[in-house]
Amino acid sequence: MIQKAIIPAAGYGIRNLPITKAIPKELFPIGNRPAIDYVVKEAIDAGITDILIILSRNKTEIMNYFDRSMELEAHLRTIHKESMLPIIAPAKVNIQYIRQYEALGLGHAVSLGQSFAANEPFAVMLPDQINLHQNSLLLPLIRNYEKHRTNVIGLQSVDPKLLSQYGVASAVQVQRRIYEVASIVEKPAYDPPSQLAVMGRYIVEPGIFELLKTTKPGIGGEIQLTDALNQMGMTRKAIGYVYKERWYDTSIEHDYLKIQQRAYQLHKKRKQ
């Protein structure tokens, strides 16, 4: 059973400046909910009971969003708007927070979760990758972990022009949607090994933490999760699960506008 998830949310949001000077990317609105709320819901729907969110200095608003607001609750009662209380109730999951003091990379952010993981396999969910599916897209990764007992990586076939923005898998298909991943090339400038990009969802075995301790800064001068995963893959290959569902990357303006539009359409449809 996978019960824990780490959500790294400590980046500067460089691609979205200047708005990210004031609003963390994870709190960008999608309909009337912030982006990270969709990720937390996806985790809960997959059976996750404990979440660790990695924050940086300007991200305290994320903690406030998931906290209870007694004052607002009391106010809603006073003005007889009790029907709105469920909308502001905190998510039914145990959320912990830790601060990453320096932006040293995704691998470093994940390494801060060692005592949280307590030697159990865990999910990593990158909050700039969002989907609007009713069913949790983390669940198929968990199922595959239970079956294969090795790291599982969510993949999606993307437009070759975009591959240089992702980790790209060198992988061989073994079943429908299932690949054996030989390695991942992080943000290949040329000659990507395939069209299968890493989609920001992983199930990782706790052995990653020892490797992250000695992982040297990689591309962009950052400690990359990809590099530690590749090292683990040398002893036991990871499984790649290929998503057919639509993912949106909130760091890409065009994708962000699209998800807002789609969330609005879905909202209207539900109200009908």
Interface residues with ligand G1P (CB under 6 A)? Answer: 106, 126, 128-129, 166-167, 186, 197-198, 200, 225-226
Measured from the CB atom, is 81 or 195 closer to ligand G1P? 195
Measured from the CB atom, is 244 or 271 closer to ligand G1P? 244
Spatial contact of 229 and 153, defined as CB atoms under 8 Å apart: yes
Long-range pairs for 65-68: beta carbons < 8 A, 24 or more residues apart: 65/27, 65/34, 65/36, 65/37, 66/40, 66/90, 66/91, 66/95
Give the Cα separation of 162 and 8 in Å (integer): 22
Least separation in angstroms between CB 198 and ligand G1P: 4
Least separation in angstroms between CB 152 and ligand G1P: 14
Q: What is the dihedral of CA 232, 238, 244, 248, to 10 degrees?
A: -10
Nearest to 197 by CA among 157, 237, 153, 224: 157
Measured from the CB atom, is 49 or 246 closer to ligand G1P? 246
Least separation in angstroms between CB 245 and ligand G1P: 15
Measured from the CB atom, is 1 or 252 closer to ligand G1P? 252
Measured from the CB atom, is 7 or 225 closer to ligand G1P? 225
Longest Cα–Cα distance in the chain: 62
For residue 202, give the amino acid letter. Answer: Y
Least separation in angstroms between CB 247 and ligand G1P: 9
Give the Cα separation of 233 and 207 in Å (integer): 11
Residue at shortest CB range from ligand G1P: 167
| Exposure letters 159-180 (e unless 16+ CB within 10 A, then b) | eeeebeebbbbbbeeeeeebbb
Measured from the CB atom, is 34 or 167 closer to ligand G1P? 167
Measured from the CB atom, is 111 or 129 closer to ligand G1P? 129
Least separation in angstroms between CB 157 and ligand G1P: 13
Give the Cα separation of 39 and 263 in Å (integer): 14
Measured from the CB atom, is 95 or 199 closer to ligand G1P? 199
| CA 206 distance to own-chain centroid | 18
Please provide the DSSP assignment of 47-109 as one string: T--EEEEEE-GGGHHHHHHHS--HHHHHHHHHTT-GGGHHHHSPPSSEEEEEE-SS---HHHH
Least separation in angstroms between CB 167 and ligand G1P: 2
Least separation in angstroms between CB 164 and ligand G1P: 11
Least separation in angstroms between CB 106 and ligand G1P: 5
